[in-house]
Amino acid sequence: MEKSTLKLIGAKIRQIRKEKGITQEQLAERANTTNSYIAGVERGTRNVTIGSLEKIADALGVNVFEFFEYGQFAQTQDQEYVYKINEMLLTRDASDQRKAFAILKEVFRDK
């Protein structure tokens, strides 16, 4: 997988884990892996296999395809910057995402 894809998948896993109130340690235990592996997956530095994604999805109680729902923007070249913005935001916490939204909202408000 490309590094940007790994980062997006990792960010999506982190997002789902946090939404469910699960720590990395708890997720690792549920997925029968190590905390360092989960941390690497979430950072996008581990080349995760489909089998590992399935274990993580089961541990989170979601369908493995949810990890790829960010990808609609990756399908078309004419939306390159939308894809890049999406990738950037997925690696940030909710507070940073709100700040970025407020900035974009201000930049593009009707005049």
- Would you say the pTM of this structure is higher than 0.85? no
Q: How confident is the model over 12-67, as pLDDT tens digits?
A: 899 899 999 999 999 999 999 999 999 999 999 999 999 999 999 999 999 998 88
Using CA atoms, how far apart are residues 38 and 29, in angstroms rounded to an integer? 10
CATH superfamily of 3-107: lambda repressor-like DNA-binding domains (1.10.260.40)
